Amino acid sequence: MNGMIGEDTVDDKVWIVKTHSPWCMPEAPPFSCNKILLVVRNPLDSIMSWLECVQHGNHSTKADFEIQEEYPNYWDEWVKDCGEYFA
């Protein structure tokens, strides 16, 4: 998967790291840093972004329909599962 320059490079070349925090991603490599800038998104925006990423394998492809309208049961379970990480 192509990302921004410096992403997923865990040495002194790292400038920007995007996350879907507060999710803990076990496959993400650990790294240290000197400065952090935290931008907090609306949880519903983040939950939808994560769903789209999982479904399509990237951050730019979107479904041709409204998931929460076409599949309300799936959406409710997805939000419930994701919400456990915010507790």
pTM for this prediction? 0.56
Q: 2: pLDDT confidence band, cut at 50, 70 and 90?
A: low
Q: 12: pLDDT confidence band, cut at 50, 70 and 90?
A: low
Percent of the chain with pLDDT over 70: 60
- pLDDT tens-digit series, residues 59-72: 788 889 999 999 99
User: Which residue, among 22, 46, 15, 36, has the nearest Cα to 4 in the 3D structure?
Assistant: 15
Domain layout of the chain by residue ranges: 43-83
CA dihedral 66, 53, 44, 33 (to 10 degrees): -160
